[in-house]
Amino acid sequence: MSSVPVAVVTGSNKGVGLAIVRALCKQFPGDVYLTSRDPGRGQAAVAQLQQEGLRPLFHQLDIDDLQSIRAFRDFLKDKYGGINVLVNNAGIAFKVNDTTPFAVQAEVTLKTNFFGTRNVSTELLPLMKPYGRVVNVSSMQSSLALGRCSQELQQKFRSDTITEDELVQLMNKFVEDTKKNIHEKEGWPNTAYGVSKIGVTVLSRIQARLLNEQRKGDHILLNACCPGWVRTDMAGPKATKSPDEGAETPVYLALLPSSADAPHGQFVSDKTVKPW
Ligand code: NAP
């Protein structure tokens, strides 16, 4: 088994994820895994970084596919005995002018952004080594969507005692409510992406609390963040930040020094803790 530290970035064949891998290759003292659901796109991205003189490693990972997640988990466990840095970056968003029915957009968006991210966490968080760093890439859209939820939903999503099961039930309820077209009456905002990212931010708060309760002495720090508005296929060419600039906050959280005990369980944007 290798004693080299290891960092993993999901959805990193392009966009913010690729830029996070680039920065980690320069700054993280260990192996850095670029992962992609499509091996061809992943290997092409590895070749691109090799052209820049960097040496990322590659592993297939589709966060929608439990078998793929478990194969990667077993690989990391066998080769490294754990994980030092995990960046949950993979995500999707329908374009604003997409005509796919809203209920379908809700189901598909939640499947990857919330349920996929949760499945990766369920399988990989137990592998986190002491002083490990976990970064869940959420979005400012989560805060905006939270502000547009009913008072009752806002209270639940801000609760310090909400459980993962309760959060999963709420995310499933959103999808079901969109199918019956009663989601607005039930207090939800009209944004599938925003609700999926509420799920990611609240999941991060829950996971951080569980780490406090179950692994207090291991000094693991886990946070959600927004990369900013970044020029990628998702956000388009008018966005204000380059992918490398978008990577700055996730990388800052991924490389918090071993002396740090904060931030933890926070939503961070521009390297600053934001109110939730
Ligand atoms: P992007 O350019 O569209 O890249 C998304 C990445 O996620 C791609 O590598 C994509 O792979 C991957 N992905 C999607 N579904 C996946 C799955 N099931 N399994 C594995 N990988 C999957 O988007 P981006 O702008 O870099 O976004 C990265 C993260 O930042 C996302 O979580 C996004 O929500 C968040 N974010 C972005 C912005 C922004 O302004 N760009 C703002 C706030 C938050 P494929 O190439 O195979 O599709």
Distance, CA 167 to ligand 1 centroid (Å)? 22
Distance, CA 259 to ligand 1 centroid (Å)? 31
Structure tokens at 262: 């904060």
Distance, CA 88 to ligand 1 centroid (Å)? 10
Residue 31, phi-psi category: left (phi > 0), alpha (psi -120 to 50), beta (remainder): beta
Which of the residues 33, 80, 193, 252 is marked catalytic? 193
- Its pTM surpasses 0.75: yes
What would the pLDDT profile of 94-108 be if each residue is shown by its tens digit?
Answer: 999 999 999 999 999
Q: Helix, strand, or coil here: 183?
A: coil
First-to-last C-alpha distance (Å) of the chain: 41
CB 88 within 8 A of CB 121: yes
* Phi, psi (rounded to 5 degrees) for 86: -125, 120
Helix, strand, coil shares of the chain, percent, nearest 5, are: 50, 15, 35
Q: Is residue 235 within 6 Å of ligand 1 at its C-beta?
A: yes
Q: Is residue 194 within 6 Å of ligand 1 at its C-beta?
A: no
Three-state SS across 186-233? CCCCCCHHHHHHHHHHHHHHHHHHHHHHHCHHHCCEEEEEECCCECCC
What would the pLDDT profile of 106-158 be if each residue is shown by its tens digit?
Answer: 999 999 999 999 999 999 999 999 999 999 999 999 999 999 999 999 999 99
Cβ neighbours for 70, distance < 8 A, ≥ 6 positions apart? 123
pLDDT of residue 74: 98
Residue 181, phi-psi category: left (phi > 0), alpha (psi -120 to 50), beta (remainder): left
Distance, CA 55 to ligand 1 centroid (Å)? 22
Atom in ligand 1 nearest the alpha carbon of residue 90: 7
Q: Is residue 139 within 6 Å of ligand 1 at its C-beta?
A: yes
Q: Is residue 112 within 6 Å of ligand 1 at its C-beta?
A: yes
What would the pLDDT profile of 217-276 be if each residue is shown by its tens digit?
Answer: 999 999 999 999 999 999 999 999 999 999 999 999 999 999 999 999 999 999 999 999
Q: Is residue 234 within 6 Å of ligand 1 at its C-beta?
A: yes
pLDDT of residue 174: 99
- The yes-or-no answer on residue 33 being catalytic is no
Q: Is residue 239 within 6 Å of ligand 1 at its C-beta?
A: yes
Q: How far is Cα 250 from Cα 234, in angstroms, rounded to an integer?
A: 17
Of 12, 43, 92, which is best to mutate to test ligand 1, by the most ligand atoms within 8 angstroms of its C-beta?
Answer: 92
Distance, CA 11 to ligand 1 centroid (Å)? 6
pLDDT of residue 182: 98
Atom in ligand 1 nearest the alpha carbon of residue 19: 26
Three-state SS across 97-159? CCCCCHHHHHHHHHHHHHHHHHHHHHHHHHHEEEEEEEEEECCHHHHHHHHCCCHHHHHHHHC
Atom in ligand 1 nearest the alpha carbon of residue 116: 18
Q: How far is Cα 198 from Cα 114, in angstroms, rounded to an integer?
A: 9
Q: Name the residue with the closest Cα to ligand 1, atom 41.
A: 230
**Mean pLDDT in residue range 40-52:** 98
CB 182: neighbour CB atoms within 10 A? 11
